[in-house]
Amino acid sequence: MSRDTPPAVPDTGRGPTPAGLLADRRVVVVGGASGIGRATVTAAAAAGAAVAVLDADTAGAESAAAQARAAGAWARARGVDVTVEAEVADAFDAVAAELGGVDAVLHVAGVMRGQGLDVRDVPLDLWARVIAVNLTGPFLVAKHAARHLTRGDGVLVLVGSKAGVQSGSGSVPYGASKGGLHGLALTLTRQLGPQGIRVHALCPGDIDTPLMRRSLDEARANGADGGRVSAIEAALGRPEEVASVLVLLASPVSAGLAGTVWTG
Ligand SMILES: NC(=O)c1ccc[n+]([C@@H]2O[C@H](COP(=O)([O-])OP(=O)(O)OC[C@H]3O[C@@H](n4cnc5c(N)ncnc54)[C@H](O)[C@@H]3O)[C@@H](O)[C@H]2O)c1
């Protein structure tokens, strides 16, 4: 093979996660039952972390933790609705006690609703639910995670989106919530950074997950341009690609990184 030709990288169906990158790290994945969060549980476990999986879908969280344990990791699950402060507070207290501390919190949980709806037709309760999960949720997670995160090389990552930050969204409340999450992360960077807690917003593009599949169906049902929806569908990325970036951010090797991180 010529030196000008890079070696072919086999598509293993997983993001590349160096074993040992998270050795001795205690990692909490919020929203770890499905999609990007579930891939993150798998990747963090493969990188050597002890993983706590929090999600409103308790059975899904249990199954993600069981999969991580089967791969040899320490993993536990808890059912938590991120919109309920008492549940979030209790979960972080319990997880920190069980793990003996928390080094990284990867907040992935989120919902997408209202795809393709004209602003004139967005019901207030739909708006309120999306804001509650996607903006109040990360606030509550940050508030209670910060009580436990290691000072010195603690990490908090809030998963936002390109929608609402780099571009608009097909959903009015989703775009607004993710724009708000980005502002929250910037503000927390200023506040927690000097305390030795590195904060990032991670903004992925369109990824093939249950959320995205439901969103494409909703867009079609609400009369969105079918050609545009099909083009998005044809170009979806894989959850494992985002998960491997989250693992990297959770690791001390990312200590020199700051601020917002984008993935394709
Ligand atoms: N899939 C994409 O194209 C895409 C693109 C950019 C950003 N994102 C963001 O990535 C994150 C993960 O999305 P995904 O596509 O993997 O979705 P997903 O639906 O597969 O997973 C989301 C998880 O969040 C959990 N969750 C929802 N509401 C919750 C609540 N109130 N409390 C606790 N857990 C709750 C769900 O149970 C689920 O396990 C979301 O924040 C989403 O906005 C996704």
Q: Is the CB of 141 under 6 A from ligand 1?
A: no
In a domain, residue 2? The reply is: no
Report the domain count for the chain: 1
| Of 169, 200, 209, best ligand 1 pocket probe by most atoms within 8 Å of the beta carbon | 209
Report the nearest-CA residue for atom 11 of ligand 1: 108
Report the nearest-CA residue for atom 17 of ligand 1: 211
pLDDT at 248: 98
How far apart (Å, rounded) are the C-alpha atoms in residues 137 and 263? 22
Buried b (16+ CB within 10 A) or exposed e, 169-195: bbbbbbbbbbbbbbebbeebbeebeee
Show the domain range for 212.
26-262
Residues 35, 64, 174, 240: which is the catalytic one?
174
Q: Is the CB of 241 under 6 A from ligand 1?
A: no
d(CA 136, ligand 1 centre) in Å = 14
CATH at residue 40: 3.40.50.720
Q: Is the CB of 204 under 6 A from ligand 1?
A: yes
How far apart (Å, rounded) are the C-alpha atoms in residues 151 and 146? 9
What atom of ligand 1 comes closest to residue 132's alpha carbon? Answer: 31
pLDDT at 19: 85
Whole-angstrom CA distances from 94 to 44, 82, 103 are 20, 15, 15
3-state secondary structure of 202: strand
User: Residue written as tokens 């917003």?
Assistant: 201
Q: What percent of the chain has pLDDT over 70?
A: 94
d(CA 34, ligand 1 centre) in Å = 7
pTM: 0.95
In a domain, residue 229? The reply is: yes
Which run of H or of E encompasses 157?
A: strand 154-159
Q: Which residues have C-beta within 8 Å of that of residue 85, sequence separation ≥ 6? A: 140, 143, 144
In a domain, residue 132? The reply is: yes
pLDDT at 262: 96
pLDDT at 2: 44
In a domain, residue 14? The reply is: no
In a domain, residue 66? The reply is: yes
Six-digit token string for 134 = 């996607």
In a domain, residue 100? The reply is: yes
Q: What angle do CA 147, 150, 153 make, to 5 degrees?
A: 135
How far apart (Å, rounded) are the C-alpha atoms in residues 237 and 258? 24
How many residues are listed for the chain in this entry? 264
What are the residue ranges in the chain where pLDDT is below 50? 1-2, 7, 9-10, 12
174 an active-site residue? Answer: yes
Q: Which of 194, 202, 114, 219 is nearest to 166 (CA)?
A: 202
Which run of H or of E encompasses 193?
A: none
188, 140 contact by CB (below 8 A): no
In a domain, residue 6? The reply is: no
d(CA 5, ligand 1 centre) in Å = 38
In a domain, residue 13? The reply is: no
Q: Which amino acid is at 116?
A: G
Rounded to the nearest angstrom, the gap between the alpha carbon of residue 107 and the centroid of all alpha carbons in its chain is: 5
Q: What is the DSSP string of 37-68?
A: HHHHHHHHHHTT-EEEEEES-HHHHHHHHHHH
pLDDT at 9: 46
